[in-house]
Amino acid sequence: MVKRREEIERLHDTSDEDLHSEAARLKESIFRLNFKLALGEVDAIKNVRQEKKSLARIQTIIKERATQAATK
């Protein structure tokens, strides 16, 4: 629980450009992990879930910032 909160705080302090590059990196990582999963590597499924959750958090922060900028 604490680890997730620390990650969210770190992401909120990150610049928009860095968030977009991190999102792109995570998408690439998920693609590669899905490929490994298709090849039968069982341990890849845990990593896929973690990467997807991280990507969702980043996308949420990006969307929040976009709506805040639009309302100002």
Q: Where are the domains of the chain?
A: 17-71
- Say what the pLDDT of residue 32 is: 93
**Does residue 2 register a pLDDT over 80?**
no
Across the range 24-32, mean pLDDT stands at 96
**Does residue 15 register a pLDDT over 80?**
yes
Handedness of CA 55, 25, 19, 47 (dihedral sign): positive
This prediction's pTM: 0.86
Among the residues of the chain, which ranges form H helices? 2-12, 16-38, 44-71
**Does residue 53 register a pLDDT over 60?**
yes
